[in-house]
Every structure is written in structure tokens, then in C-alpha cells.
Amino acid sequence: MLKFLIVEDEKPIADLIAMSLSGAGCRCVCESDGMAAADRIERETFDLILLDVMLPGLDGFSLMEYIRPREIPVIFLTARGSVSDRVRGLRAGADDYLVKPFEIIELQARVETVLRRYHKLEREIVTGGLTIDVQSRTVQRDGAIIPLTMKEYELLLLFARNPGIALYRETIYERVWESDWLGDSRTVDLHVQRLRRKVGWEDKIRAVYKVGYRYEP
């Protein structure tokens, strides 16, 4: 299930957004303060953040500086609709900028567009001789299911979604284990080795010297 963070200090608006997106099968959590949102982003992983600009504690533009290194998709939802504000929001790293008041159906369409851009709506990935069913979280080769642990599956999904890209061990650990990297590469290396054997990707997941790993389909 996709998990969204709604950072909005007007509770009726936040509740309406959460209700409309939860009805589409997403889990929504809300924060009304910029600092509280930063703390939550530190603790949890999100697929999308819906962010107001005018917030207590820490405004949306400042919060973007904290979000951007985490590569989480962001849509600004704000009453500040001037061209300069839109440009500032997009240059800060937001994926979209929607001015209040807006229709919920438009918000849903924009959310779908951003999620599609980040490959978060895909139902099936076929790569390297495998068929990965994103909805059921199963992996098959030639019709036979390959049993994977939760971390092995998340690791496989990360590689499958980033073909040809060298992924740092730090990035792999933070994405799959959803916690801060403490510099110990053994956990990542062990899981990569086990995944290679299980799915038959010994020649497809390549070690990148002093970096990490790269999946080469």
C-alpha cells in the first residue's frame, strides 16, 4: 500500500485530502507543523508528500531543503499562486504545484501522474528473465514462484526499477532497511549475494568499486 504524508495546517483540508486518497487505497498520515513533519520524515518512509507552503514551525520551502536529498516525490498544495512562488517551488525540487482552491479530482490526477513518473503505480515488472508482480509482491521465473524474504524482495525491486544505475551501499541500505546507514556494508553485501543466487542474477548485479552495485539487464 502506498503511504502519503500530508503536511497541511488547515485540518478540514487535510482531512478531505486524506479521505479522498485513502479511498483510492492509499494510507495517509497528516502533520500540521513543518518541524513535526521533518521529524516524521526522519522516522518513516513515504511514497509521496503533499506539502503546504505556509506552515507553523518551518515553512514548506524550507522543508523542501530537508526532503530533497531523500528523493521523495512532492506536490505543493498552497494558496500562494504567483508565478514567482510556483517557480520557486519547482526549482526547490517539487514535482508539481497546485494552487488552492482546487478540485479533488484534479489533485487525484496529479498524484497519479507523479506516482507514474516514479514507477510507483506499476503492477508488473518484467526484467532479467523475472516477472515481478508489484501488487501481490511475488516473483516468478518461467512460471515458478521464487520465495524471497521481505528485504530480498525490496532489494530486487530497487534494482529492477533502477537498471544501469550505480547504487551506493548507503542508498541501498536506507531505501531497503528504512534506517540510517552506519557504515557497515556486510548487511547489504550478504543480501545482494543471496538475492543473486536465488533469482539467477549472478552476472546481472555487478559490484561497482568503492560505490556499491549496479543491475545490468
Find the range with the poorest average confidence among 31-35, 70-74, 81-85, 181-185: 181-185
Specify the CATH number for the domain of residue 12.
3.40.50.2300
Predicted confidence at residue 142, as pLDDT, reads: 93
Whether residues 148 and 102 share a domain: the answer is no
Of the two residues 121 and 52, the one the predictor is more confident about is: 52
Q: Please write the tens of the pLDDT for every residue from 144-191.
A: 999 999 999 999 988 998 888 899 998 888 888 877 777 778 999 999
Which of 117, 148, 173 is the last residue in one of the domains? 117
CATH code assigned at 210: 1.10.10.10
Is residue 110 located within the same domain as residue 134?
no
More confidently predicted of 45 and 212: 212
- Name the domain boundary from 117, 143, 168: 117
44 and 59 both lie in a single domain? yes
| Of 12-26, 87-101, 107-121, highest mean pLDDT | 87-101
51 and 112 together in one domain: yes
Chain mean pLDDT for the chain: 90
166 strand-pairing partners: 214
Same-domain pairing of 141 and 91: no
Q: How many domains does the chain have?
A: 2
Shared domain check, 159 and 112: no
Same domain flag for 133 and 105: no
State the average pLDDT over residues 70-87: 89
* Nearest alpha-carbon partner for 59 in 85, 95, 21, 83: 85
Residue 193 has pLDDT above 90, yes or no: yes
Residues 195 and 138 in one domain: yes
What mean pLDDT do residues 62-89 have?
90
More confident site: 114 or 118: 114
- Find, among 161, 98, 152, 100, the residue nearest to 127 by Cα: 161
Please tell me whether the peptide bond between 101 and the residue prior to it is cis, using omega within 30 degrees of 0. Answer: yes
User: Quick check: 172 and 158 in contact, CB under 8 A?
Assistant: yes
* 108 & 150 share domain: no
* Dist. CA 148–CA 82, nearest whole Å: 50
SS (H, E, C) 87-128: HHHHHCCCCEEEECCCCHHHHHHHHHHHHHHCCCCCCEEEEC
Exposed / middle / buried, residue 32 (Cβ in 10 Å: 0-12, 13-18, 19+) = middle
Give the structural domain span for 105: 3-117
Calculate the CA 119 to chain-centre distance: 9
Residues 109 and 177 in one domain: no
Domain boundary (117, 146, 171) is at 117
